[in-house]
């Protein structure tokens, strides 16, 4: 089959992946692997006259172990499919869900070191036993899988000797055809915790408090603190009529919408507090109240029977914010010309640093005539990802060009402050980073050795 840039192939198994790679080698044609190809907001970089290898047809859960809490999956296994699989098994294990499409692939997401919600939200940290087809067609495993030690392969990321898992994410060294994903058991007791912040100063204090709560282990895993536009755009589209078809949204209008929807505060954060006993849950809740309650009066705890969300397309609605057409039942932002560019700098988990970067990103988005759409992902105990979303109508060329300029200015600005995105979109990045000589040389040599004809995703994450 052909797409606008070249041919699309859809292997059904490992052998076919090998076959296509060998053929690409023979004919010296660039070949780009994707899993479900829904990398919306970041995009799939492809050269002209190339092959797109879509792995969605390889969609088996090939191993499942309830006791050791893991599954081994192929690239076509989506968030929705894995959720349904576990439901069917009446499993006590949960998956981390994302704001992206439920029909997107876990392996596709992990290949980009994507992030989900909850205890294992840093999904890249919870993988083992990758099966990878090298550009020349050989198959390798990572960890103990390399030595045929199958009993150990899925429970230990590292084997003995050099650990190579990381080589295959955000890179062009191989095609991942299988991996083991560790899952977290459902806690016996849980509560949904919600807090609001009205000012930048309160947000700063909240961030510092959350760092303390995370480092000491009271709060675990990743969760999002969304600003008002990020949160509201999941519920409504841009109020074109009320704004007399002008952009960007005025603060007066924003306040009106917030009032209408009963939205309090400028920022809202939400996470699930889990525990194995009522006493532990109570202890955690009291500790959070003690620390966060001092900073914001808007702190709520709600009992949850099943705190673990089904993968949902709710947040995809936000892609349609600036579209004038109504949101279709089956959403596909790519098909529908929704413009969205994510800019996602990594920043230290320090309130002041976050505040400076957020303010800067908001300022630039507004300068270019977009709404300041920002979320903060509390991904680890030491770093945060600030995720700015430039949302626009891609069918309006002028808006697209403006969005690219805005993206560039944010990226350059955060880079000047010493920060950089955890992941790159199609329109940014490589040129800003200058890899130091030794690292650059090593990567270049590795690429030459494993992909002598440079056919696998040329230029992807190459510095």
Ligand X SMILES: Cc1cc2nc3c(=O)[nH]c(=O)nc-3n(C[C@H](O)[C@H](O)[C@H](O)COP(=O)(O)OP(=O)(O)OC[C@H]3O[C@@H](n4cnc5c(N)ncnc54)[C@H](O)[C@@H]3O)c2cc1C
Kindly list the residues in this chain that would bind ligand X in the complex (CB under 6 A).
33-42, 44, 55, 75, 98-101, 104-105, 107-109, 111-112, 114-115, 175-176, 315-316, 318-319, 333, 340, 457, 460
Inter-residue contact 109 to 36 (CB < 8 Å): no
Q: What is the phi-psi region of residue 74: left when phi exceeds 0, alpha when psi lies from -120 to 50, beta otherwise?
A: beta
Query: Measured from the CB of residue 96, what is the shortest distance to ligand X in angstroms?
Result: 9
Smaller CB separation from ligand X, 347 or 387: 387
**CB 343, min distance to ligand X, A:** 13
Q: Which is nearer to ligand X, 280 or 327 (CB)?
A: 327
Q: Minimum distance from CB of 58 to ligand X (Å)?
A: 9
Which residue is it, tokens 């002598």?
Answer: 452
Nearer to ligand X, 110 or 288 (CB): 110
Supply the minimum distance, in Å, between the C-beta of residue 63 and ligand X.
Answer: 17
Nearer to ligand X, 38 or 157 (CB): 38
Residue nearer to ligand X on the CB measure, 99 or 269: 99
Question: Which residues, in sequence order, are CB contacts of 428 under 8 Å at separation 6+?
Answer: 343, 407, 408, 411, 421
State in angstroms the smallest separation of the CB of 285 from ligand X: 26
CB of 1 to ligand X, least distance (A): 17
How many other C-beta atoms lie within 10 A of the C-beta of residue 122? 18
* Beta-strand pair 224-227/299-303: unpaired
C-beta of 75 vs 145, nearer to ligand X: 75
Among 160, 155, 181, 177, which Cα is nearest to 93's? Answer: 181
């Amino acid at each position: 089959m052909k797409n606008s840039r070249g041919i699309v192939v859809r292997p059904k198994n490992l052998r076919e992946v090998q076959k296509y790679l060998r053929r690409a080698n023979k004919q010296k044609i660039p070949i780009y692997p994707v899993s479900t190809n829904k990398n919306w907001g970041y995009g799939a970089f492809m050269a002209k006259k190339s092959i797109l290898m879509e792995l969605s047809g390889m969609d088996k859960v090939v191993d499942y172990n309830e006791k050791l809490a893991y599954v081994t999956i192929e690239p076509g296994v989506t968030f929705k499919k894995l959720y349904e699989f576990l439901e069917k098994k009446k499993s006590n294990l949960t998956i981390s869900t994302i704001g992206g499409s439920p029909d997107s692939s876990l392996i596709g997401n992990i290949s980009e070191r994507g992030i989900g919600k909850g205890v294992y939200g840093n999904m890249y940290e919870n993988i083992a036993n990758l099966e990878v087809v090298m550009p020349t067609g050989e198959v390798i495993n990572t960890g103990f899988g390399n030595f045929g030690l199958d009993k150990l392969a899925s429970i230990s990321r590292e084997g003995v000797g050099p650990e190579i898992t990381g080589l295959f994410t955000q890179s062009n060294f191989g095609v991942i055809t299988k991996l083991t994903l560790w899952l977290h058991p459902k806690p016996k007791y849980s509560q949904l915790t919600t807090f609001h912040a009205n000012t930048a100063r309160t947000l700063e204090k909240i961030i510092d408090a959350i760092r303390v709560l995370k480092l000491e282990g009271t709060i675990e895993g990743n969760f999002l603190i969304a600003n008002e536009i990020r949160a509201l755009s999941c519920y409504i589209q841009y109020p074109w009529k009320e704004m007399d078809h002008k952009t960007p949204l005025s603060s007066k209008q924003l306040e009106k919408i917030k009032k209408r929807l009963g939205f309090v505060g400028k920022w809202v954060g939400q996470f699930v507090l889990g525990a194995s006993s009522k006493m532990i849950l109570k202890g955690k809740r009291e500790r959070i109240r003690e620390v966060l309650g001092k900073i914001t009066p808007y702190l709520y705890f709600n009992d949850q029977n099943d705190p673990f969300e089904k993968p949902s397309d709710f947040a995809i609605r936000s892609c349609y914010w600036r579209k004038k057409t109504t949101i279709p039942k089956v959403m596909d932002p790519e098909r529908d010309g929704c413009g969205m560019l994510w800019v996602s700098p990594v920043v230290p988990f320090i309130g002041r640093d976050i505040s400076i970067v957020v303010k800067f990103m908001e300022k630039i988005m507004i300068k270019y005539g977009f709404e300041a759409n920002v979320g903060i992902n509390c991904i680890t105990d030491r770093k945060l990802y600030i995720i700015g979303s430039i949302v626009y109508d891609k069918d309006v060329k002028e808006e697209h060009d403006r969005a690219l300029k805005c993206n560039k200015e944010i990226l350059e600005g955060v880079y000047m402050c010493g920060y950089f995105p955890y992941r790159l979109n199609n329109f940014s990045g490589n040129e800003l980073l200058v890899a130091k000589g030794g690292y650059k040389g090593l990567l270049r040599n590795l690429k030459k050795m494993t992909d002598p004809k440079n056919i696998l995703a040329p230029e992807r994450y190459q510095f």
